[in-house]
């Protein structure tokens, strides 16, 4: 029969973005979408077009930018939602409208306040409406695993007849277990024979830590599309983690007789790009992408791995795109060598971007004896998601010690004018942040601040993460890089402020358009 190819439907930009602290601006979403395209995911769910002007714009821009994947927008089974989704998707190389309605007794009664017959009629009517726009229509029965199987089968048969080409049966609350999930799909395939003529999809949540296990059970039961997210981000405990699912299929082809077209060597970069954009790190012991996933601490393990890697490694670090932290370039390296290195790392940068990044690399190479691959990757990723710099740092002076009050003098530029302010604080970072707040002239709340090194060694770059919120409570994450940790912290804070201003200006423009 040959190996089954499983389609990967990535919802990092829609379901993933709904997780607390994971919102992304337009530039960041486009950068993430391009990385998903590089990974060769089959379908990118770009957002929920009607939910906000910002979501509409990001779906529209991603639809116009991405050429090698299908692009989907979510829509309720409501005419206005579907029209708006199509408006955003119409210029996509391969558009998909993804419409959903709940089918469980609980959801129909308390959330929708509709009878089963009304839900059935609405589902069919709206799939037909979507079909008027494009041929690729996905229908999701929300809370499918807690629905009455006979009623669910009736809805499935109805929407397939109306033109749905993919049927997604999500475990919306992450309640099922692998054996039960397998039986659920096998039973539905008997009750709704038309399922065998379309793509069957599973969307598992991870509330009991079973998202990937339940997805694998679904594949065993004949499912050919899995909905998942990078790093497993998503509401509550998240979604099925794409990297775990893909590598489970890749490593255990013998058992599962299925694979995906994902370029696995892009996994690490996708994971770290998402972490950098959202500021949400993965736990060190996270399967596949955690920093300890390929670290063999104990002596016995190390000895075994040195003799034969397969003793304790079921997959190689290289297979997921983890390369040894090679020392690559120094301050005497020329632009040609730098360009080749960037290409070898898998980045496709324009000449202009190469110039910008090379200048930053030269500054870094003056401060560091050895520049590693990881340093260069961080430089590139930071540049690629830069927002316009309303404020930029000119200079700062910090006075600090354990017997004096910390003082910061910060001088910044806004629209060609210099602004300088002084502030005291509880330590050098606090004093600097307060001085910046005075310059910006807004009331900002510091939500989170952390600092880590990019590579090893005492001359390593400090990677600072700052999260601030505005008066509405919207959180913005900023990153800063420098071999000086105070400087990195200041850059991160200013980066978060610039993101906030960029976001507010975008919203203003969209309100004017609408």
pLDDT digits (tens, 9 = 90+) for 45-81: 999 999 988 899 999 999 999 999 999 999 999 999 9
pTM confidence score: 0.86
Last residue of a domain, one of 217, 248, 278: 278
Q: How many domains does the chain have?
A: 3
Q: What is the mean pLDDT of residues 473-498?
A: 92
**CA–CA distance, 48 with 85 (Å, rounded to integer):** 8
Q: Is 349 found in the same domain as 228?
A: no
Write the DSSP string, 82-146: HHHHHHHHTT-SSEEEEEEEE-SHHHIIIII---HHHHHHHHHHHHHHHHTT-S-EEEEEETGGG
**CA–CA distance, 223 with 216 (Å, rounded to integer):** 9
Q: Is 401 found in the same domain as 272?
A: no
Q: For 6-26, how does the pLDDT look when each residue is reduced to its tens digit (9 = 90+)?
A: 999 999 999 988 777 777 889
What CATH number corresponds to the domain at position 81?
Answer: 3.20.20.70
Q: Is 397 found in the same domain as 376?
A: no
Last residue of a domain, one of 350, 366, 384: 384
Q: For 289-321, how does the pLDDT look when each residue is reduced to its tens digit (9 = 90+)?
A: 998 888 755 455 556 656 777 777 788 888 998
Q: Is 264 found in the same domain as 345?
A: no
Q: For 261-274, how does the pLDDT look when each residue is reduced to its tens digit (9 = 90+)?
A: 999 999 999 998 99
pLDDT band at 387 (very low <50, low <70, confident <90, very high): confident
Q: Is 172 found in the same domain as 98?
A: yes
Q: Is 180 found in the same domain as 36?
A: yes
Q: Is 141 found in the same domain as 114?
A: yes
CB neighbourhood size of 196 (10 A): 9
Domain assignment of residue 319, yes or no: no
Domain assignment of residue 297, yes or no: no
pLDDT band at 450 (very low <50, low <70, confident <90, very high): very high
Q: Is 432 found in the same domain as 380?
A: no
Q: Is 239 found in the same domain as 145?
A: yes
Domain assignment of residue 311, yes or no: no
Provide the pLDDT for residue 368. 82
**Which of 417, 499, 488, 490 lies closest to 452, judged by CA?**
488
Cα–Cα distances in Å, from 186 out to 74, 155, 179, 219, 220? 27, 17, 11, 11, 9
Last residue of a domain, one of 354, 384, 414: 384
For 355, the domain range is: 327-384
CB neighbourhood size of 297 (10 A): 7
What CATH number corresponds to the domain at position 432?
Answer: 3.30.160.270
What 3-state DSSP class applies to 218? helix
**CA–CA distance, 421 with 410 (Å, rounded to integer):** 6
Domain assignment of residue 452, yes or no: yes
Domain assignment of residue 317, yes or no: no
Q: Is 42 found in the same domain as 191?
A: yes
**CA–CA distance, 98 with 92 (Å, rounded to integer):** 14
Looking at the predicted structure, is the pLDDT value of residue 378 above 90? no
- Which range of 123-127, 480-484, 501-505 scores highest in mean pLDDT? It is 123-127
Q: What is the mean pLDDT of residues 324-348?
A: 76
Contact between 71 and 44 (Cβ < 8 Å): yes
Q: Is 178 found in the same domain as 68?
A: yes
More confident residue, 339 or 440: 440
pLDDT band at 140 (very low <50, low <70, confident <90, very high): very high
Looking at the predicted structure, is the pLDDT value of residue 484 above 80? yes
Q: Residue 488 CA to chain centroid, in angstroms?
A: 24
Domain assignment of residue 112, yes or no: yes
CB neighbourhood size of 146 (10 A): 18
Q: Is 367 found in the same domain as 400?
A: no
Domain assignment of residue 153, yes or no: yes
Provide the pLDDT for residue 370. 79
Give bridge partners of residue 479 from the DSSP assignment.
465
Domain assignment of residue 220, yes or no: yes
- The backbone region for 469, taken as left when phi is positive above 0, alpha when psi lies in -120 to 50, beta otherwise, is beta
């Amino acid at each position: 029969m040959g190996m089954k190819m499983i389609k990967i439907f990535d919802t990092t930009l829609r379901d993933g973005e709904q997780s607390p602290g994971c919102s992304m601006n337009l530039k960041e979403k486009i950068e993430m979408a391009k990385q998903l395209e590089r990974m060769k995911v089959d379908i990118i769910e770009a957002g929920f077009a009607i939910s906000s002007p910002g979501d509409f714009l990001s779906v529209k821009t991603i639809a116009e930018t991405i050429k090698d994947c299908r692009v989907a927008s979510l829509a309720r089974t409501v005419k206005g939602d579907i029209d708006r989704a199509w408006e955003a998707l119409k210029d996509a190389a391969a558009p998909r409208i993804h419409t959903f309605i709940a089918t469980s007794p609980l959801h129909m009664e308390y959330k929708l306040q509709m009878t089963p017959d009304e839900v059935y009629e609405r589902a069919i009517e709206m799939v037909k409406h979507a079909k008027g726009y494009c041929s690729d229509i996905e229908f999701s029965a929300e809370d499918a695993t807690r629905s009455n199987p006979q009623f669910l089968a009736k809805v499935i048969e109805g929407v397939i007849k109306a033109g749905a080409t993919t049927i997604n049966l999500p475990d919306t609350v992450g309640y099922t277990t692998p054996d039960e999930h397998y039986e659920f799909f096998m039973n539905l395939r008997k009750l709704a024979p038309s399922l065998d003529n379309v793509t069957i999809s599973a969307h598992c949540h991870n509330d009991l830590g079973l998202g990937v296990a339940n997805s694998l059970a679904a594949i065993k039961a004949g499912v050919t599309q899995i909905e998942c997210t990078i790093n497993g981000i998503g509401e509550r405990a998240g979604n099925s983690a794409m990297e775990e699912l893909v590598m489970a299929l890749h490593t255990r082809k013998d058992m599962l007789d299925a694979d995906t077209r994902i370029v696995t060597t892009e996994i690490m970069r996708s994971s770290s790009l998402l972490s950098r954009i959202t500021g949400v790190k993965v736990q060190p012991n996270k399967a596949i992408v955690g920093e300890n996933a390929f670290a063999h601490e104990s002596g016995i393990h190390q000895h075994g791995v040195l003799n034969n890697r397969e003793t304790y490694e079921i997959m190689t670090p290289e297979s997921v795109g983890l390369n040894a932290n090679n020392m690559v370039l120094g301050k005497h390296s020329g632009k040609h060598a730098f360009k080749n290195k960037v290409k070898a790392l898998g980045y496709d940068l324009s000449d202009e971007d190469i110039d910008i990044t090379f200048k930053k690399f030269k500054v870094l190479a003056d401060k560091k004896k050895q520049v590693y691959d990881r340093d260069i990757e961080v430089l590139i990723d930071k540049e690629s998601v830069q927002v316009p710099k309303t404020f930029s740092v000119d200079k700062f002076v910090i006075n600090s010690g354990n017997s004096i009050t910390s003082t910061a003098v910060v001088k910044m530029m806004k629209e060609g004018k210099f602004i300088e302010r002084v502030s005291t604080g509880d330590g050098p970072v606090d004093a600097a942040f307060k001085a910046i707040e005075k310059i910006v002239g807004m009331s900002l709340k510091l939500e989170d601040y952390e600092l880590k090194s990019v590579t090893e060694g005492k001359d390593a770059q400090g990677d600072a993460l700052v999260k601030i919120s505005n008066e509405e409570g919207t959180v913005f994450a900023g990153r800063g890089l420098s071999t000086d940790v105070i400087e990195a912290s200041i850059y991160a804070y200013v980066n978060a402020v610039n993101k906030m201003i960029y976001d507010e200006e975008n919203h203003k423009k969209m309100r004017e358009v609408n």
